[in-house]
Amino acid sequence: MKRFLIGMFFVPVLVFAQQDKITVNTLLQKIQNYTSTIKSFTATFVYVVNKKTYNGVMYYKAPQKFAMEYSSGNRILSDGKVLWIVIKDQNIAIRENLEKTKTATPLTGWNIQRLQKEYIPFLPKDYVVMFRGKQSYRIEFKPKSTLSAFRYIELVITPEGQIQRMVAKNQLGREVQLELSYTGFNMSLGEDRFLYEPDENTYIFDDILISTPAES
């Protein structure tokens, strides 16, 4: 029994000794190296906000175009300049000017260089985690300014630099979580997938999610 207990204590020590070489910069470089090879992807997603869980299919096109199509028929999509949130059953569309409001999109982590302009990355004490049965790494980001869209952002990545999960808390204190299960990479995606054209019966609300710096 004593030999067994000693073995249990020694194994974690050896594992974590190997992890000492990992820094936040090496992990950020892994993300950048990995994402630089990805021009587009498709994935199924699980999106959690206000303790409610939603799912659907996501399409992404570098550098910052995406479309999230929910199983309910609702949509969130962006061409990188304008973010649309389309609520199908109420015939409502919320339009956010990303350049005006400086709103961060749900895929902000995929543009790691842009993310670092507004947030400071660091490794928490428990940065080595198990995710989906595999060893992964956790990186946290804190805002450089109170005008940033989120109070904090957390990424969970694979050793290769693939982003698996993003968790963030916005300035209203609402936590959102996005998990991705990738289904394809570097396929051709038309530009129209990331554009939304409301019809004459759609109620449109502009820039209501986050105030502009001038209004803060």
Q: What is the CATH number of the domain that holds 27?
A: 2.50.20.10
Peptide bond into 143 cis (omega under 30): no
Strand segments (E) across the chain: 40-49, 52-61, 65-70, 75-78, 82-87, 92-97, 119-122, 128-131, 134-143, 150-157, 163-170, 175-185, 203-206
Number of domains in the chain: 1
For residue range 69-106, list pLDDT tens digits in order: 999 999 999 998 899 999 999 999 999 888 765 555 55
pLDDT band at 184 (very low <50, low <70, confident <90, very high): very high
Query: Would 189 be classed as within a structural domain?
Result: yes
pLDDT band at residue 195, thresholds of 50, 70 and 90?
A: very high
Q: Is the pLDDT of residue 4 over 70?
A: no
Direct distance between the N- and C-terminal alpha carbons of the chain, in angstroms, rounded to an integer: 63
Residue 203 structural domain: 23-215
Looking at per-residue confidence, does 216 or 210 come out higher? 210
Is 16 inside a domain boundary?
A: no
Specify the 3-state DSSP secondary structure of 208: coil
Cβ-based neighbours of 69, under 8 Å, separated by 6 or more = 56, 57, 58, 59, 75
Do the domain assignments include residue 31? yes
Tell me how far apart the alpha carbons of residues 40 and 153 are, in angstroms, rounded to a whole number: 23
Q: Does 167 map to a domain?
A: yes
For residue 149, the 8-state DSSP code is S
Structure tokens, 24: 């936040």
Residue 4 lies in a domain: no
Nearest Cα neighbor of 171 from 124, 93, 104 is 104
Q: Is the pLDDT of residue 127 over 50?
A: yes
- Residue 1, in any domain of the structure: no
- Judged by DSSP in three states, 77 sits in strand
Q: Report yes or no on 5 lying in a domain.
A: no
pTM: 0.79
In angstroms, the CA 57 to CA 181 distance is 10
Residues 6 or more apart from 2 whose CB is under 8 A from it? none
- Does residue 9 belong to any structural domain of this protein? no
